[in-house]
Amino acid sequence: MNDSLQTSYGHAGNGLAVDRQRVLRNTYWLLALSLVPTVLGAWIGVSTGFMAKMGFGISTLVFFIGAFGLMFVVEKTKNSSMGVAALLGFTFFMGLMLSRLIAQVLGYRNGSSLIMTAFGGTAAIFFAMASLSTIIKRDLSSMGKFLVVGAIVLMVAGIANIFLQSSALMLTILVLMLGVFSAFLLYDIKRVIDGGETNYISATLAIYLDLYNVFQSLLSLLGIFGGERD
């Protein structure tokens, strides 16, 4: 009797492990695929100057309405094939929104190398957090509340700085963003590994946003401290 129960529990445990690996594998594949529309959106934005023509205030409004609206659509359709299409549409939009920053950095003499450095740095942070998530055995779910509060504070500070135009505050926000969203990467990947997130579309959305913010803050910092003007 005990042997049969142990066998049943063993099979159940193996099944859970397989499911978690499947979700993680699908998440990584979809995450890689999401880079294609992101790059396409950024290229179109830079080529057309679409974001620059909007003006900073309007483009910020479009960003918040578009990003939160599309995230809502992704979450509503995450249990169907439409969820993948919605996610790819969202990543295209985010690439378009990123084009203003990329165009600014490309205005530097070493702009292309700064972008590649930011991309390499983001990839290094991702691989470091992904590796760390497999090593850490403790439950990190308690981190979530603190990270969400931190992200909200940063968003409010960022909106406030639109009016304050403080260089010191901007630098502080960028450094904190880099730290907070690197921690978010660890948290979100660990959630998938531990079975806290079982939908690969939702998992991809969360990790994509982490990477997006890490890349954006890293590129901004590189542009501020390493940009070479003609």
Contact 170, 154 (CB under 8 A): no
Neighbours of 60 (CB within 10 A): 16
Give the model's pLDDT for residue 77. 96
Low-confidence spans in the chain with pLDDT less than 70: 1-16
Give the model's pLDDT for residue 60. 82
Give the model's pLDDT for residue 1. 53
Global pTM value: 0.90
Which residues are CB-contacts of 185 (< 8 A; sequence separation ≥ 6)? Answer: 125, 126, 129, 130, 207, 210, 211, 214
Give the model's pLDDT for residue 141. 84
Which residues are CB-contacts of 146 (< 8 A; sequence separation ≥ 6)? Answer: none
